[in-house]
Amino acid sequence: MTMTLRLISCALLILLSPALLAAKLPKAEAVPGGIAIVPLNIESASAPVVKFQDRRVMVVPDNKRKNHWLAITGIPLSAEKGKHQLAVEANPKHRIVSFEVKNKKYQTQYLTLKNKRQVNPTEEDLKRIAKEQEEIVAALARWSDSDSLNTTFVIPATGRLSSPFGLRRFFNKEPRQPHSGIDIAAPEGTPIVSPADGTVITTADYFFNGNTVFIDHGQGLVTMYCHMSNIAVKPGDTVKQGERIGAIGQSGRVTGPHLHWAVSINDARVDPGLFFDDLQKVTTAE
């Protein structure tokens, strides 16, 4: 290869680097459990610091306007309908940017569990659950600065979409928290891969979630994988998009083998379907 061709090849590799390409943004749906993509209308060479409910918010370039920025804001399932505000730290002064949240009704699901402890844990179980909850909360609230954020996801596992996001759930007729992820049912041992590049925050075996992995993708974007049969990564590992992190199982509170996959943005659990054009299609694709 001549020197000229070699230089052209290197230039192409740089231009096509995932860190430099504009990632496909998730779909905007400003509802509880959704994502608000909010133009900040601030001209700045560097990204401003933005907070929603005292949590740092992901900020990405607005590709339509040079030196302008978009806040990719996760909306908690508990959010109320109406006007909400982002606090923007920018020179020469701080400002408030508002956005509107609309209402959304989610379906109801009734599940029957044979293991009564998974519905009404013992006192010892509750002590374990409380300790585990602290770890889970800390992992989902993780923030790390990143210049190579990629929100163009691949599906972590293929199978049947058995439980969509946001379901109002009842276990043995007793109400529980809304379903804050999606469930993909598949045979035990089905591979689970990382939807994007990231770093493993922690792994553990939890009372409800079973074998679990958390991955930090940067700027408050964290993904969680539960009920695994085995875990193929360890805390601190760097994983690439499509890299195997474990396999589907039925550990923890389950009615059969499946992956519970949750996506968190600024510590708000959001619908993973917003990262795909057709979630049903990609989960069943071979």
- pLDDT tens for residues 233-245? 999 999 999 999 9
User: What is the structure's pLDDT at 121?
Assistant: 76
Distances (CA, A) of 68 to 52, 59, 98, 151: 19, 10, 17, 19
Closest among 186, 163, 185 to 176, alpha carbons compared: 163
Among 111-125, 151-165, 182-196, 210-224, the range scoring the smallest mean pLDDT is: 111-125
CB contact at 8 A, 259 and 159? yes
pTM for this model (two decimals): 0.85
Taking all residues of the chain, what is their mean pLDDT, rounded to a whole number?
87
CB contact at 8 A, 193 and 154? yes
Identify which has the larger pLDDT, 92 or 161: 161
The arithmetic mean of pLDDT across residues 189-195, rounded, is: 98
User: What is the structure's pLDDT at 163?
Assistant: 86
User: What is the structure's pLDDT at 122?
Assistant: 84
Domains of the chain, with CATH numbers?
23-101 (2.60.40.1590), 108-284 (2.70.70.10)
User: What is the structure's pLDDT at 18?
Assistant: 37
Q: What is the DSSP secondary structure assignment for residue 166, as one 8-state letter?
A: T
